[in-house]
A and B are shown apart, each in its own frame.
Chain A
């Protein structure tokens, strides 16, 4: 049921911490000695995972995310990349190594042409740039370490270095963002034709500096309604520039959909390495007893290194899902993609009668134009993308 697996590697270091981020990352300046042992731990965690890689092979995408992977020394990062690629390729002998989408996330403040070339040579073929905004005030409020000029230069540098597949991350609903400022950002970005744009709505996570600033009234962010307006502004601008929205927040030029990203939404299998990384893979047992595992590593970077280097598993938790739950996840995730999900196919693939329960639910919503259906294939209607939870909550 999966056309291949993925590898995700988490690099929990950043040059500096952004004000809205609650993801696991630590400013590199404080922990430079830790970075070396962290890389060692990643390698140690990878070694015994090769068996697992075989179970989810062929590997079709690798993604090094963060944090800011490019906060690491370029040579170290490139070495890690080529090791990952070797592991991926050797997991399924005979497969064409060229057909692996290999993404590295980068912050415009931490890249240079030489480093980018190293990555390319190590097999990385896709770069994801965290631009977020081109408005100086918004970048400042977000606590980004780069300015607009640096961000645009990074796009140019990536192209110049030879990256043919380029993503730009943008934030919808940044502090002070208006329709005009967003349109302005989009205009400059679109003019540079990145292959892919991810536009995520800002989420105020508890405990982040931004959340506290908003709570205390020092900073204003667009409310839910304004954010919705901004989102649709972005959708209009990107779609009229030739991008397709293939998932709620993801836009791509034709053929440039992110394979790794789609893997998540299509309930694909993946091995997660590093602190706070998640994995998803089938258990060894086959037949009706088959289970799927979702597990996650400790999010404490120091603890991760200690556990791995002392021969223990860094796994902090796991759940095992039976075919019914796995199939429901498949539907819940797939509904938000442009392609949607075919209930009959899912039912057959997992050997469960998922349609009995979900088809009536989805039909009900299709009458309300929240869902589009074609036979047994369903997807969230494009105009309902931003209220998808209303439907998805009934599918879990």
Chain B
């Protein structure tokens, strides 16, 4: 195939800036989709994505397009996820492209993820096509936002395209720019095969479908292939392209985007970022940038009803088929029984999985507060990675604890910088860089512990800046910290699922706040229940849940037994959703209370 007719591009944007709408409009305009079959946000297939207005998975589309110059082109549009949890996935999608349409909302301007994605795209050498979207909105400030882009990219104002993806105005100019400005892929059809896996999904009949971009060489059905990082070998059973439905083809050459199937059983065997080559004559080097999926956030997931344990395992197995980045291992908690320790790319990823388990699989879950992975060097000089605070070795066996730091980019109007700086400092952040993107908008970069970000940082940031600040972060490094494990004792016994690791300077305040919250969350029992927060054997906070004195329905009004029974049934149902710990009933919310704010 002639690579000069191919354009591989993606659309990058901050959340809600209109990326999916623009993609829909492009599909409509090029006739890639029958408008009658069109649903809003065609590319976001999962219901949850549509509900939350965010894109989680990448879906490529191949579009045949006759340009105004009379020539036919093949446009491969690769959609990218728009959330900080999925930075690595974004980077692999970008690696499959030569150009990126950068969409900025005319009412909001450049935001943290605009920048994060833009820098990623520049790192990958992509041609940037700047677009100001939603110019039709009454509160739009297209000129101001255009100026921001001009400053940011060092370009001329007329290079910025003014668009309304909603009405379709200006979308044709975006297509022009893609054809005229995005360079065609280069690649040698005779060189050893190199194809990048930038996404995958699982098909029950054909196994793993790896979404690939060919760089050098070519692939044909029946070829024997090798996954360069996993070392696994397969015989190709199917090749194809997305239109957007899968359409088989007999071979794929340099510059082309499509999928392959080779009876691959597990997503991990065709992981995102891996390089596909020919088994008989492999490429010498894989494509750069591969990194195994690494969960950043862990939590325990337990069925409310212990009998649902096998169902939870089956559900996780099924989700894992389509999401290699979930990890899970069986775990036992004295408080919660049998469950799983699950790893996620980030908080949103965790919430989405939790919601899907409850919604699609009908499971009732108790989720423990999320934790980062701590690195512990023991006095015996062993290096341990601890993803569950309950497993932290006793203090006297710890030589040193390190915790993951991230570099957080916060974009905020200059007059709201103060509260942002206060918040970042309160959360142990150290300022890395402060940059005025425009005279009124600041980009502050902080090095900050990831655990502090998990601790409702984003909600706080939003509330203190009236929603104007945006946040993006990426893993930086492990740093040594003065951390301690805080145990919560109920009736004198530690509840493993409530333990958490906290910086020593916060221990007292958060311990006190937590036991106070728990006092309100845990229903009164038949006797006094002491609640304590302790570091080792030292109790730092104490509350008492006073004994239940009165819980009875007195009168039987006019013989209304039905009402009485219903009230008791409601009470029974409420109890069923609690976990019995010793003789104390702990409700679901208590296990997430660790995360709530301590300062307001």
Per-position binary interface string of chain B over residues 531-561, scored 1 when its CB falls under 8 Å from any chain A CB and 0 otherwise: 0000000000000001011111111111111
In the complex, which residues of chain B have a beta carbon less than 8 angstroms from the beta carbon of A395? 568
Per-position binary interface string of chain A over residues 54-79, scored 1 when its CB falls under 8 Å from any chain B CB and 0 otherwise: 00000000000100000000000000
Q: Report B205 CB to chain A, min CB distance, Å.
A: 47
In the complex the two chains form, is A201's CB within 8 Å of B554's CB? yes
Within 8 A of B (CB), among A75-91: none
In the complex the two chains form, is A272's CB within 8 Å of B559's CB? yes
Q: Report A45 CB to chain B, min CB distance, Å.
A: 15
The chain A residue with its CB closest to the CB of B566 is A396
In the complex the two chains form, is A248's CB within 8 Å of B572's CB? no
In the complex the two chains form, is A390's CB within 8 Å of B551's CB? yes
Question: With A and B bound together, what is the CA distance between A200 and B554 in angstroms?
Answer: 6
A394 in the interface, Cβ–Cβ < 8 Å? yes
In the complex, which residues of chain B have a beta carbon less than 8 angstroms from the beta carbon of A394? 572, 575
Per-position binary interface string of chain A over residues 243-258, scored 1 when its CB falls under 8 Å from any chain B CB and 0 otherwise: 0000011000000000
In the complex, which residues of chain B have a beta carbon less than 8 angstroms from the beta carbon of A278? 558-562
Pick from A272, A329, A370: contact of B526, CB under 8 Å: A370
In the complex the two chains form, is B551's CB within 8 Å of A249's CB? no
In the complex the two chains form, is A386's CB within 8 Å of B560's CB? no
The chain B residue with its CB closest to the CB of A173 is B550
Question: With A and B bound together, what is the CA distance between A265 and B552 in angstroms?
Answer: 14
Q: Report A176 CB to chain B, min CB distance, Å.
A: 19
A13 in the interface, Cβ–Cβ < 8 Å? no
Within 8 A of B (CB), among A375-396: 385-390, 392-396
With A278-B562, A332-B565 as known contacts, state yes or no: A385 contacts B557, CB within 8 Å. Answer: no
In the complex, which residues of chain B have a beta carbon less than 8 angstroms from the beta carbon of A270? 559
Question: With A and B bound together, what is the CA distance between A14 and B42 in angstroms?
Answer: 65
B569 in the interface, Cβ–Cβ < 8 Å? yes
B571 in the interface, Cβ–Cβ < 8 Å? yes
In the complex the two chains form, is A276's CB within 8 Å of B552's CB? no
Q: Report B518 CB to chain A, min CB distance, Å.
A: 20
In the complex, which residues of chain B have a beta carbon less than 8 angstroms from the beta carbon of A229? 549
The chain A residue with its CB closest to the CB of B557 is A23
In the complex the two chains form, is B558's CB within 8 Å of A248's CB? no
Question: With A and B bound together, what is the CA distance between A79 and B546 in angstroms?
Answer: 54
Pick from A201, A227, A264, A368: contact of B559, CB under 8 Å: A264
The chain B residue with its CB closest to the CB of A263 is B559
In the complex, which residues of chain A have a beta carbon less than 8 angstroms from the beta carbon of B555? 200, 203, 249
Q: Report B54 CB to chain A, min CB distance, Å.
A: 40
In the complex, which residues of chain B have a beta carbon less than 8 angstroms from the beta carbon of A8? 558-559
In the complex the two chains form, is A228's CB within 8 Å of B526's CB? no
A38 in the interface, Cβ–Cβ < 8 Å? no
Q: Report A29 CB to chain B, min CB distance, Å.
A: 23
A280 in the interface, Cβ–Cβ < 8 Å? yes
A224 in the interface, Cβ–Cβ < 8 Å? yes
In the complex the two chains form, is A389's CB within 8 Å of B553's CB? yes
Within 8 A of B (CB), among A213-234: 224-225, 227-229, 231
A296 in the interface, Cβ–Cβ < 8 Å? yes
Q: Report A371 CB to chain B, min CB distance, Å.
A: 12
Question: With A and B bound together, what is the CA distance between A264 and B565 in angstroms?
Answer: 13
Pick from A332, A336, A387: contact of B551, CB under 8 Å: A387
A319 in the interface, Cβ–Cβ < 8 Å? yes
The chain B residue with its CB closest to the CB of A10 is B558
Question: With A and B bound together, what is the CA distance between A296 and B571 in angstroms?
Answer: 23
A179 in the interface, Cβ–Cβ < 8 Å? no
The chain B residue with its CB closest to the CB of A229 is B549
Pick from B546, B549, B558, B565: contact of A396, CB under 8 Å: B565
The chain B residue with its CB closest to the CB of A336 is B552
Question: With A and B bound together, what is the CA distance between A203 and B564 in angstroms?
Answer: 14
Q: Report A67 CB to chain B, min CB distance, Å.
A: 10
Question: With A and B bound together, what is the CA distance between A355 and B583 in angstroms?
Answer: 24
Q: Report A52 CB to chain B, min CB distance, Å.
A: 15
In the complex the two chains form, is B549's CB within 8 Å of A387's CB? yes
Question: With A and B bound together, what is the CA distance between A231 and B572 in angstroms?
Answer: 25
In the complex the two chains form, is A390's CB within 8 Å of B556's CB? no
In the complex, which residues of chain A have a beta carbon less than 8 angstroms from the beta carbon of B583? 368
Question: With A and B bound together, what is the CA distance between A279 and B560 in angstroms?
Answer: 8
In the complex the two chains form, is A386's CB within 8 Å of B551's CB? yes
In the complex the two chains form, is B550's CB within 8 Å of A393's CB? no
A158 in the interface, Cβ–Cβ < 8 Å? no
In the complex, which residues of chain B have a beta carbon less than 8 angstroms from the beta carbon of A212? none
In the complex, which residues of chain B have a beta carbon less than 8 angstroms from the beta carbon of A106? none
In the complex, which residues of chain A have a beta carbon less than 8 angstroms from the beta carbon of B565? 329, 332, 396
Pick from B546, B552, B560, B561: contact of A389, CB under 8 Å: B552
A294 in the interface, Cβ–Cβ < 8 Å? yes
Q: Report A360 CB to chain B, min CB distance, Å.
A: 15
In the complex the two chains form, is A277's CB within 8 Å of B558's CB? yes
In the complex the two chains form, is B562's CB within 8 Å of A225's CB? no
Question: With A and B bound together, what is the CA distance between A265 and B559 in angstroms?
Answer: 9
A333 in the interface, Cβ–Cβ < 8 Å? yes
Query: Which among A280, A370, A386, A395 has the greatest number of chain B C-beta atoms within 10 A?
Result: A386
In the complex, which residues of chain B have a beta carbon less than 8 angstroms from the beta carbon of A386? 549-552
Pick from A227, A276, A333, A390: contact of B561, CB under 8 Å: A333
Q: Report B454 CB to chain A, min CB distance, Å.
A: 36
Taking Cβ atoms with an 8 Å cutoff, the residues of B that contact A are 526, 546, 548-562, 564-565, 568-569, 571-572, 575, 583
**Can you sample 20 A-B contacts with CB below 8 Å?**
A8-B558, A8-B559, A203-B555, A224-B550, A225-B550, A272-B558, A272-B559, A278-B558, A278-B560, A278-B562, A280-B561, A296-B560, A329-B565, A333-B564, A368-B583, A386-B551, A387-B526, A389-B568, A394-B572, A394-B575
Given pairs A276-B558, A386-B552, 12 additional interface contacts (CB within 8 A)? A8-B558, A23-B557, A248-B554, A272-B559, A333-B556, A386-B551, A387-B549, A387-B552, A393-B568, A393-B575, A395-B568, A396-B565
Q: Which 4 A-B pairs have the closest CB atoms?
A: A228-B549, A393-B571, A278-B559, A389-B551
